[in-house]
Every structure is written in C-alpha cells, then in structure tokens.
Amino acid sequence: MSGDVIVQQLVNGITLGGLYALIALGYTLVYGIMLMINFAHSEMFMAGGYVGLFVLKALTNEAWVGAGAVGFFTGSTIGLIVLFVIVFLAAAILVGILGVVIERFAYRPLRHAPRLAPLISAIGVSIFLQNAVLLWVDSKALPFPAVMPVVTVVKVGGVTVNSLQILILVTTLLLLAFLDTFVSKTRIGKAMRATSQDREAAGLMGIDINQVIGLAFFIGPALGGIAGVFHGMYYGSVKFDMGFLPGMKSFTAAVIGGIGNLRGAMLGGFVLGILESLAAGFLSAGYKDVVAFAILILVLIFRPGGLLGESVVEKV
C-alpha cells in the first residue's frame, strides 16, 4: 500500500470528519444545556440540504431573479461567493428558526417531564419531518446543481485535494473557533455555561433560561443546516432520509469526544471520519461502520466520559 493512498484516505477522512463534526456540534450544544439528546437533529441536517437546494435553484432561475442576476451569480468568482454566502446564510437561518420552533412546541412543554418524554418527542419530530419532506417535496433523491466549480487545488503525486474539501474543512474550523470564543468570552456565552451547570440556579441569578435554550436550539440546527448544504454539494444529491446515517455517526462522534464538550465533538468527528476512511480503504468498505461503532464501544468502556470528557463541569 503506497503512501499516496494513505494520505488520500486521510484527506477523505478529514472531509467526512468535518461534516460529522459540524453535525456533532449541534448534538453536543443541546445536550450541554438541556441534558437531552435531540434526535431530530439529523433532520435539521436534512432540512439544510433542502433549503440550500431550493435557494440555490431560486437564485439561478432566470424567471425568478432575472437574467442579469443569474449572470452575475454564476458568471464571476465574486458572484459565486455572494451566491453561496446567501445559500449558506439562508440554510443556517431558516434551519435555526426551525430548531427554535421545534424546541418551543415539542420540547419546552416537556421541560419538567421525566427525561424520557422529550426524547420520545424528539424521535416523533424526526419521523414527522422526514415524512413531511417525503410527502410534500419528493420521495426521490433530488440532484444538487453543481453551480460551484470544483477544482483540484493540491496535487502531489497521487494525492488530490479539491476546493470543496478545503472549503468544508476551513468552514468547520472557523465555525468551531467562533463558537468556542462565543461560549467562553461573551456575556451570553457565560449565561449558557451557567445554565448548563445548573439551570435552576442560573434562573434564580436572573438569567433568561428560555433565551439561552432558544439560542442553543438556533445555533445547533444552524450548524446542522450548513452541514446539510455541504453534504448536498459534496455528494451531489439530497434525499428525505439523508440525515439518518450521518446523524447516527455524528451522535457517535459527539459521544466519542465527550458529549457536552464542543472541542470534543470536533475531535470525535475527525477521529470517526478518519478511522472510517482508513477502515474502508484498508480493510473493506463493508467494515467501515463496524469500525466506527467498535471505537464507540471501546471509548465507552475505557473512557466513559469520552475523549475530552474531563471538563464535564463546564458542559457547554
């Protein structure tokens, strides 16, 4: 097995890991504050893919925005950048709002119920959203238009890295850095940390708990939505059940990294993505899920809190 192949598999793994990490951040953020696994999060990812697709289609449809605008969006580099900034912002904001709405109607009424109740509610929301898309949009996979040209940026020997892979990695790292700073440096971040430590006490200290929880349910799904757009661009299609497997894997990534810990989610995502790619490349493609979940079991046995689970006191 040549070195080129190993490096190329690492590139594949890091890209996949970046997607897992983006989704895992949503799981871990909500868990940190609510101590609840938001099983509907995989559908936030799916919703992001669809919002991205529809916005992209609308903005490149001459009947909707005029030939001039389409020419600008698709004709120049600046236009493309503007186009995709709009697409990503739309996906992040709309899916974020969807997350807040879901929290308001499906989780908030159950906030004082036993912990199993919101979990079941989350599964219900997940099934509801999948079926809503299935019935109202399409049951088929929809092709994601390849508006953004994908160019090979790095080519060393047999190893190639394309622009989209770099974009996914850079965006993921920037978003984590931003989120990390936001949570540790800002006033509202402090309120989030306080809420995660003790919700009741934080409320007594004058923190608006609903605002903090709402914010977590905006940021988490927004990141999931961005991951959904990337998924559409990277794999070229969106489908109503596209969230299931990545959602499962990202949840695993969050647990491997130490659920509730932001950097842990990131680390877990990359660890999982890389191990999966190496397993698929060097054992057999059929073994990649076996390896992924075997790692989960090993981590849970030897480090039940996850790889970075030590800072469990500060859960956000």
Partner 1 sequence: MTSKRRRFVALVAVVAALALVVTGCASKTDTGGTDGGATEATVVKIGIGAPLTQGAVALGKGMERGANLAVSQANEDAAVKDLGITFETVSGDDQGDPKTGVTVANQFVSDSKLVGVMGHLNSGVSIPASKVYNQSSVVMVSPASTNPSLTQNGLDNVFRVCTIDSVQGPSGADSAFKDLGFTSAFVVDDSTPYGTGLADEFAKQFAADGGKVVGREKTGDKDSDFNALVTKIKSLNPAVVYYGGIYNSGALLSKQLSDAGVTAPLMGGDGLYDGEYVKLAGDAAAEGDFCTSVGYPIDQLPKGADFKAAFEAAYPGEAIAAYDAYSYDAANVIIEAVKKVAADLGAAKVTTLEGKKAIIAAVAATNMEGVTGAVAFDANGDTTNKVITLYTVKAGAWTAYVK
Site for partner 1 in 5-64 (CB under 8 A): 5, 8-9, 12-13, 15-16
Shortest Å, Cβ 149 to partner 1: 12
Of the candidate spans 74-82, 184-192, 211-219, 233-241, the one that interacts with partner 1 by CB under 8 A turns out to be: 233-241
> Are the C-beta atoms of residues 22 and 44 closer than 8 Å to each other?
no
In whole angstroms, how close is the CB of 305 to partner 1 at the nearest point? 29
Whole-angstrom distance, CA of residue 126 vs CA of residue 120: 10
Residue 223 and residue 38 in contact, taking contact as beta carbons nearer than 8 Å: no
Q: Is 307 in the site for partner 1 (CB under 8 A)?
A: no
Q: Which is nearer to partner 1, 104 or 303 (CB)?
A: 104
Q: Which is nearer to partner 1, 126 or 261 (CB)?
A: 126
3-state secondary structure of 2: coil
Around 243, how many Cα atoms within 13 Å sit in the side-chain half-sphere? Answer: 31
Contact with partner 1 (CB under 8 A) among 101, 174, 285, 300: 285
**How many CB atoms are located within 10 Å of the residue 67 CB?**
9
Rounded to whole angstroms, the Cα distance separating 221 from 224 reads: 5
* CA atoms of 184 and 205, how far apart (whole Å): 19
**Toward partner 1, which CB reaches closer, 139 or 210?**
139
What lies within 8 Å, CB to CB, of 192 at 6+ separation is 32, 33, 183, 212, 215, 216, 316
Residue 283: CB atoms within 10 Å:
12
Question: Which of positions 128-187 make contact with partner 1 (CB under 8 A)?
Answer: 128, 131-132, 134-135, 139-141, 143, 146, 150, 152, 158, 160, 162
Question: Binding of partner 1 at residue 235 (CB under 8 A)?
Answer: yes
Q: Does residue 311 interact with partner 1 by CB under 8 A?
A: no
Distance of CA 308 to the CA centre of its chain: 19
183: Cβ contacts below 8 Å, ≥ 6 apart: 189, 192, 193, 262, 316
For partner 1, the closer CB: 118 or 260: 118
C-beta of 151 vs 204, nearer to partner 1: 151
Residues 243-282, mask of contacts with partner 1 (x by CB under 8 A): -xx------------------------------xxxxxx-
Rg (CA), the chain: 20
Q: Do residues 292 and 252 touch, judged by C-beta distance below 8 A?
A: yes
Q: Which is nearer to partner 1, 85 or 120 (CB)?
A: 120
The yes or no reply on residue 114 touching partner 1 (CB under 8 A) is no
- Assess contact for 18 and 169: CB atoms under 8 A: yes
Q: Does 110 bind partner 1 (CB under 8 A)?
A: yes
Least distance in angstroms from the C-beta of 261 to partner 1: 25
Residue 144 or residue 260: which is nearer to partner 1 going by CB?
144
Minimum distance from residue 173 beta carbon to partner 1 (Å): 20
3-state DSSP call for residue 88?
helix
Q: Please say whether the beta carbons of 153 and 69 come within 8 A.
A: no
Residue numbers of the site for partner 1 (CB under 8 A)? 1-2, 4-5, 8-9, 12-13, 15-16, 105-106, 108-110, 112-113, 120-121, 124-125, 127-128, 131-132, 134-135, 139-141, 143, 146, 150, 152, 158, 160, 162, 231, 235-237, 239, 241-242, 244-245, 276-281, 284-286, 288-289
